[in-house]
Amino acid sequence: MNMPATAPARTRRAWEVLQDVADPEIPAISVCDLGIVRDVAEADDGSLHVVLTPTYSGCPATEVIEHDVRRALLEAGLGPVQTELRRAPAWSTDWISAAGRSKLLAYGIAPPQARCATAAAGADATQAVMLLHRDAAPPCPRCGSARTAQLAGFGSTPCKSLWRCLDCAEPFDYFKPL
């Protein structure tokens, strides 16, 4: 989600600060670029209200993200801060920004190859994810080769799968389209 152009100065500053809050599991990307920060607004009580959507409901980093968001805003003098975990609609890899996808690639993680909302039109959400996992072989983030093979359905975190390049032989994580 992007900051509205008409946002008050405090809200604009909060968005700027949150651009530097790294995801604890993938420190090369911010929680904003990952699409976890859904909204920042000034509440009636004068606090900043930050809406967060974890990448999945059981994400072990959720509490760390909430803490890091609050701490960054308080250290920037923008408090008080309230956070809200909003799990509906569910987070989607469609929410990863273009800059975030580039940062994932530079970090050695293949970004999602398809956008879930359009990749499997007509399929329900479970079918769409299954189709994307079966049909999309990501290129190697190190050498760019399209000759890759999946080694395991899960990589370093549940939102990634483990792949190997058949040309340079390097293993890599692929951020699964969700």
Six-digit token string for 153: 């359905």
Residue 156 domain-assigned (yes or no): yes
Residue 75, domain CATH? 3.30.300.130
Residue 142 domain-assigned (yes or no): yes
Distance CA 135, CA 100 (A): 23
Q: Answer yes or no: are the C-beta atoms of 79 and 17 closer than 8 Å.
A: no
Nearest to 109 by CA among 50, 42, 162: 162
Residue 46 domain-assigned (yes or no): yes
Q: Count of CB atoms within 10 A of residue 74's CB?
A: 14
The reply to whether 14 and 61 lie within a common domain is yes
- The residue-averaged pLDDT of 89-116 equals 90
Domain assignment of residue 17, given as a range: 9-85
**DSSP state string for 23-67:** -SSSTTSBTTTTT-EEEEEE-TTS-EEEEE--SSTT-TTHHHHHH
pLDDT at residue 135, as a whole number: 53
Q: Tell how far CA 99 is from the center of its chain.
A: 11
Please check the confidence at residue 63 and state whether its pLDDT lies above 50. yes
The reply to whether 15 and 80 lie within a common domain is yes
Split at pLDDT 50, 70, 90, the class of 17 is very high
Q: Could you give the C-alpha distances from 41 to 4, 83, 85, 112, in angstroms and in order?
A: 10, 11, 14, 29
- The residue-averaged pLDDT of 51-76 equals 94
The reply to whether 110 and 147 lie within a common domain is yes
Domain count, the chain: 2
- The residue-averaged pLDDT of 89-110 equals 95
| Structure confidence by residue, pLDDT tens digits, 40-53 | 999 999 999 999 99
Instruction: Using the structure block, give the residue that is written with the tokens 């003098």.
Output: 77
Split at pLDDT 50, 70, 90, the class of 127 is very low
Residue 128 domain-assigned (yes or no): yes
Residue 2 domain-assigned (yes or no): no
Split at pLDDT 50, 70, 90, the class of 131 is very low
The reply to whether 70 and 32 lie within a common domain is yes
Residue 167 domain-assigned (yes or no): yes
Lowest mean pLDDT of 32-36, 70-74, 130-134, 145-149, name the range: 130-134
Residue 96 domain-assigned (yes or no): no
Lowest mean pLDDT of 63-72, 76-85, 115-124, name the range: 115-124
Distance CA 22, CA 135 (A): 31
